[in-house]
Amino acid sequence: MSNYDAIVVGSGPNGLAGAITMQQAGLSVLLLEGKETIGGGMRTAEITLPGYLHDICSAIHPMAAASPYLTTLPLQEHGLEFIYPEVAAAHPFDDGTAAVLMHSVTETARLLGADADNYTKLIQPILNIWPAIAPDVLGPLRFPRHPLSMARFGLSALTSANFLSRKFKTAKAKGFWAGMAAHSIQPLTNAVTSAIGLVLMVAGHLKGWPVPKGGSQSIANALASYFLSLGGKIETAQYIRSLDELPLAKAVLFDVTPRQLLQIAGERFSSFYKKQLQRYQYGMGVFKIDWALNAPVPFTANECRIAGTVHLGNTLEEIVESERLSSKGVHAEKPFVLLTQPSVFDASRAPQKKHTAWAYCHVPNGSTVDMTTIVENQVERFAPGFKDCILGRHTMNTAEMEAYNPNYIGGDINGGIINIRQLYTRPAIRWSPYTTPAKGIYICSSSTPPGGGVHGMCGYHAAKKALHDVFSIEIKTH
């Protein structure tokens, strides 16, 4: 193997972003991927029936569309096309109605009826300041460039979603809010769960919740194509288990979680840093199902039939309880389910007049319980006749998710729980969370700020730090 200025291990969104950032700075960069195909959580394949393309992990990408870094890259020139459903997300209720996230704040609020003003008062001020605070919210802890605006955001974002739900009067608005906040994958009584819900709603109003044409693999392919066009090099089927397996380089960025980092480079770390990584907390896992369907999901609420994402959980109380149970090691009988049917918007995903659907629910970390019947019952609850549409299915429990992507420890797709303790200090308490005690070794995965999601910000910030430390190169902050 040749020598390089920098090596990146792992080709998820953060590994790709880190590699691109350093290649843009004029370095020679090698990107290594353990699997046969690049992408990490951005992979698409036929896993049910021939002709049905399913996103194995991530499917809907509000953070990619809103990322301060990814949006600066010429990804359209490298084949990426986003499709924006008119209804970003819908939340059905047992009475057949639904709340919806539209591009317009006014329209979203209007459909919440008696809570219209309450919704506007919560979201509009954050929308107004978001362009100024986004780089600080989606980055490491530092003195904010707009401290008053950050403080205004923090007043709501640092609270628990359960507490913030008091801003709403109706069960409809409360349930809608709970579905947004449940993306945090932790009990909604935890502090900072409001942050995830607020950021997702803001992203929906600013950009939307898009579906990548052809599947999430299209994002990975576009990032890789751009990286290669800059002169970077990619090698797949290179699973790294120790530093000895790497060619010489001045800097190495690892798009892995603390558990793998300890296995690969633990002997180079101080005992204190190793103890911090060993204490790092992973969150709930997911049980995922992909379906091949002979028709779109027959939701009772028409809004759900044209929504990019559907949150199945009914009321605030029901969602709070299901998330609490999962966090305590109990499998909920009525779990919160996230569902999308990309073929409604992208005909390339399935044969003519056929469809695909994707869904997951939260389960205890490491669970191998088959949740198929429970999840399908939850879909049938809001879409009578759904089970009759199923032509084929593919399921993945938490162990299978981790086997597919080693970063999903126990099925945790966020690279570690994003709670108050691990919001900005993930994976350890350091001046820069991307550094390690070993010179030239950095961590750039979702186990660093700002955490999970296809936004590339972890990789960008880690690369920026490595460029400064090792190469004395300063780049503009996104």
Phi, psi torsion values for 24, nearest 5 degrees: -60, -30
Q: For residue 467, what are its two tokens?
A: 């460029």
In the prediction, which pLDDT does 230 show? 98
Indicate the SS3 state at residue 432: coil
User: What does pTM read for this prediction?
Assistant: 0.96
The amino acid that residue 247 corresponds to is P
Q: How far is CA 298 from CA 87, 210, 345, 346, 384, in A?
A: 16, 21, 15, 18, 7
Domains in the chain (CATH in brackets) are: 4-45+58-80+212-280+410-471 (3.50.50.60)
Give the model confidence (pLDDT) of 329-350 as tens digits. 999 999 999 999 999 999 999 9
Give the model confidence (pLDDT) of 60-90 as tens digits. 999 999 999 999 999 999 999 999 999 999 9
What are the residue ranges of helices labelled H in 42-187? 62-66, 105-110, 116-137, 147-157, 161-164, 171-181
| Beta bridge partners of residue 82, listed in sequence order | 212
- Kindly state the percentage of the chain with pLDDT values over 90: 97
In the prediction, which pLDDT does 2 show? 65
Give the model confidence (pLDDT) of 226-244 as tens digits. 999 999 999 999 999 999 9
**What's the mean pLDDT in 20-41?**
97
| CB atoms closer than 10 angstroms to residue 99 | 27
At a CB cut-off of 8 Å and minimum separation 6, what does 131 contact? none
Give the residue among 202, 207, 200 at the shortest CA–CA distance from 180.
200
Positive or negative CA dihedral for 65, 70, 76, 79? negative
| Beta bridge partners of residue 235, listed in sequence order | 32
In the predicted model, is pLDDT for residue 478 greater than 90? no
Alpha carbons 210 and 468: distance in angstroms, whole number? 34
Q: How far is CA 286 from CA 102, 333, 411, in A?
A: 27, 15, 5
In the predicted model, is pLDDT for residue 413 greater than 60? yes
At a CB cut-off of 8 Å and minimum separation 6, what does 393 contact? 48, 289, 290, 291, 292, 372
Alpha carbons 363 and 315: distance in angstroms, whole number? 19
CB half-sphere exposure, 354, CA atoms < 13 A: 20
| Beta bridge partners of residue 378, listed in sequence order | none
- Alpha carbon dihedral 341, 346, 350, 355, in 10-degree steps, equals 30
